Amino acid sequence: MPLDKKEMLNAIREMKEKSKKRNFTQSVELIINLRDIDMKSREGRIREQIELPHQPPNKPNKICVVASGELALKARRAKADLVIERDELEGLAGKKKELRKLGNEYNFFLVEAPLMPLVGKILGPVLGPRGKMPVPVPPTADIASLIEKYRRMVMVRMRNQPVIQCRVGTEDMKEEELAENIQAVVNVLEGKLKRGMKNIDSAYVKTSMGEPVKISL
């Protein structure tokens, strides 16, 4: 069931009006409080990658590709933010500071399938706690399309509390685009919750440094 578009647009406008001007482009975050959730059940462990309809123009996700040979070459041509080949990956083993920087800087890690065990061993301890598990891709994958897809992807994850918080865009995006991104997240959540929209207690939208504004459900 879609949220009321008018109410979403009203909340987004209010959020923008209340948000103080900063010297950087703020992210727009969606906060959803859930109710009647059994945190020990499957719905209490929601972890979904959701492709948003609209990509932030100035703050797309940063994509790291771990690949070799032809796939690495194609990833560079497709303007992946970083391409790591096997020997470079092996050279990172044990370098905790560099690994932490990698884990913090890049949003998604696309990994050529044969390299997954090595990535799990070297990068796993850094990516796991950040909820950034590597995505295996076959050596013959259309890596350019995957990079574009993951630039619009958002990770939705519930951590110990019945609350979902994720980025749905940036403050410079059109209100309609932000509303459609919010609806995309809600659609996926609704399908994962036992009672659908009835499990959603409240929803808010906010800029990085701004106050939350409630979306009337």
Tens-binned pLDDT, residue by residue, of the chain (217 aa): 678 899 999 999 999 999 888 899 899 999 999 999 888 887 788 888 899 999 877 778 899 999 999 999 999 999 999 999 999 999 999 999 999 999 999 999 999 999 999 999 999 999 988 888 899 999 999 999 999 999 999 988 888 899 999 999 999 999 999 999 999 999 999 988 888 889 999 999 999 999 999 998 8
pLDDT of residue 138: 96
Pair 142, 70 in one domain: yes
Residues 162 and 211 in one domain: yes
Tokens of 200: 């959603």
**Residue 196: what pLDDT?**
85
Listing DSSP states for 30-78 in one string gives EEEEE-S--TTSGGGG-EEEEE-SS--SS-PPPEEEE--HHHHHHHHHT
139 and 163 fall within a common domain = no
> 79 and 127 share a domain?
yes
Compute φ and ψ for 57, nearest 5 degrees. Answer: -65, -35
Domain housing 42: 5-58+152-215
Q: Which of 151, 175, 201 is the last residue of a domain?
A: 151
Q: What is the 3-state secondary structure (H, E, C) of 2-18?
A: CCCHHHHHHHHHHHHHH
The CATH number linked to 85 is 3.40.50.790
Query: Which residue type sits at 163?
Result: V
| Token pair for 178 | 């932000």
Give yes or no: residues 138 and 70 share one domain: yes
> Is the same domain home to 53 and 97?
no
Last residue of a domain, one of 122, 151, 180: 151
Same domain assignment for residues 156 and 52: yes
**Residues facing residue 166 across a β-bridge:** 30
Domain count along the chain: 2
145 and 98 housed in the same domain: yes
Question: What pLDDT does residue 11 have?
Answer: 96
**pLDDT at residue 41, rounded to an integer:** 82
- Has this prediction a pTM greater than 0.85? no
pLDDT at 1: 63
CB 119 within 8 A of CB 109: yes
| pLDDT at residue number 75 | 97
* Structural domain ending residue among the three candidates 151, 168, 185: 151
The CATH number covering residue 34 comes to 3.30.190.20
